[in-house]
Amino acid sequence: MRKLPFKERSLLFAPMEGVTDEPYRIAIDRAFPEWDYLCTDFLRVPTVGKFSNEKILSHYGHKVLANSQLRKKTGFQILTSYRAQTEDTVKKIEAINEITHLDLNLGCPSKKVNAHKGGAYLLSEMKELREIIQIIRKNYSKTFTVKIRIGYKNTDKFFDSLKLFEDEGVDAITIHGRTRDELYRGIANWDYIKKAVQSVSIPVIGNGDVWTLRDIDRMFTQVGCDSIMLGRGALKTPWLATLYNQYRDNYDELDDDFLLEERKKYLQNYFDELEREYKKVQTKQVNVLNRFKSFSRYLFDDFQNGDAVRSSFQRAESLDHFKDLLYGI
């Protein structure tokens, strides 16, 4: 088993399609460097044709590649299927010495992705899954991890998949506590993550319904996972790792009013850093504005009349209008 690129009990910012591109990751690391680890959104391996080296490098990010500190805390995620050009793509990633961690997305619940037999679908096909894992492990010598759900339509093959990953040399497993068919409904079932911790000898990273400091502490205590990955919780509170770093020993003393004031303060820093990065790659302010709106889905849930607040930001007519709303909350 290879050493993971982050320490035990780390907080990881999840790879998210349409979110964690290079500008976003750079902005997050500068605004809230307490996140222990970041990851690209998935690069979908083509079924027809092959990626150029430049395509792979651009997805990872040339600025990240040139920054040794940021490079050390950035993983590269792919999404593939049985008939895709997995071997060729992985060989090209392997040849880039600076990319030292490859993650395979086996948890995406997208209807389109699963219709093309990728993402969580592969958890229902053990033969195909094993062959893909073997191809990646054979052609990638550095840290290789997988991010999964607890099943596709059900959990019948959950423990089979865990054994498969362990037997085939996967270095760690991130587990979201829902099946693909559950999407994001209900409550994530942490019991399966706990059972995985007890069943395999490789590190298990917990994921699903971690929204607060209390949730972080509860998952570490109740589940016993090596580290925690946050997706929607990180989008709602991108500074959650910062709060955890500052208040992990006395979070019970933080009341809702204090956390709301912290939210107002950190929101401005968050969008300032995002604007700084996205203006470097976007020539039109409307494109930056649209990115800002896409990041606003969960940010205002804790405000009184949160839906109305969120709606006002979604209706912003310009970037300046959005920023005026931001500084007026």
Return the domain boundaries, the chain.
11-252, 255-328
* Residue 250 CB partners (closer than 8 Å, separation 6+): none
Which residue reads 């993650």 in tokens? 103
Residue-level pLDDT at 84: 97
Phi-psi region of 321 (alpha: psi -120 to 50; beta: other; left: phi over 0): alpha
Residues of the chain with pLDDT under 70: none
Single pTM value for the model: 0.96
Which residues are identified as catalytic? Answer: 108
Residue-level pLDDT at 196: 98
Residue-level pLDDT at 248: 87
Which residue reads 């690209």 in tokens? 40
Residue-level pLDDT at 1: 74
CATH architecture of structural domain 11-252: Alpha-Beta Barrel (3.20)
Around Cβ 184, how many Cβ atoms within 10 Å? 12
Euclidean distance between CA atoms 282 and 289, whole angstroms = 10
Residue-level pLDDT at 227: 98
Residue-level pLDDT at 252: 83
Euclidean distance between CA atoms 156 and 161, whole angstroms = 10
Give phi and psi for 177, each to the nearest 5.
-80, 45
Are the C-beta atoms of 268 and 323 separated by less than 8 Å? no
Are the C-beta atoms of 307 and 317 separated by less than 8 Å? no
Q: Decide: helix, strand or coil at residue 45.
A: coil
Distance between first and last Cα of the chain? 49
Residue-level pLDDT at 70: 97
Euclidean distance between CA atoms 204 and 207, whole angstroms = 10
Are the C-beta atoms of 273 and 239 separated by less than 8 Å? no
Residue-level pLDDT at 325: 96
Residue-level pLDDT at 240: 98
Residue-level pLDDT at 288: 96
Q: Which amino acid is at 91?
A: K
Helix (H) / strand (E) containing 139: helix 126-139
Of 75, 82, 147, 135, nearest to 108 by C-alpha is: 147
Residue-level pLDDT at 329: 87
Residue-level pLDDT at 276: 97
* Residue 274 CB partners (closer than 8 Å, separation 6+): 23, 24, 27, 291, 292, 295
Which residue reads 């959650």 in tokens? 240
